[in-house]
């Protein structure tokens, strides 16, 4: 079965940018997961790692929670240059 991938072979376009934003805010993956849990999203730091490494597909719901937890817009996490 055919699966859509980013140009670099990853399963999402936002993982690298999420990692960059998270690090700029001096948050560990564990602390970001905790912030997301406080917003009602049941995740752990392994989820964050898999997203950042491009191992996991990301839904629109995931993007909204990441944006809220990181206090950025959804467009800040995406780049059309990645296509």
CATH number of the structural domain spanning residue 59? 1.10.260.40
52, 18 Cβ separation under 8 angstroms: yes
Q: Is the pTM of this model over 0.75?
A: yes
Q: Is 10 in contact with 58 (CB distance < 8 Å)?
A: no
Helices 15-24, 45-52: inter-axial angle, 10-degree rounding: 120
Full residue range of the structural domain in which residue 22 is found: 15-74
Q: Is residue 7 part of a domain?
A: no
CA distance 42 to 23: 21
Domain count, the chain: 1
Cα gap 40→68, rounded to integer Å = 11
Q: What are 12-69's pLDDT values in tens digits? A: 999 999 999 999 999 999 999 999 999 999 999 999 999 999 999 999 999 999 999 9
């Amino acid at each position: 079965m055919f699966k859509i991938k980013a140009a670099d072979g990853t399963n999402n376009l936002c993982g690298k940018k999420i990692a960059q934003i998270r690090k700029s805010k001096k948050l560990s993956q564990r602390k970001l997961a905790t912030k997301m849990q406080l917003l009602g999203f049941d995740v752990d730091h392994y989820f964050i790692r898999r997203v950042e490494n491009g191992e996991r597909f990301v839904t629109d719901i995931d993007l909204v929670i990441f944006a809220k937890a990181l206090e950025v817009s959804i467009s800040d996490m995406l780049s059309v240059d990645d296509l």
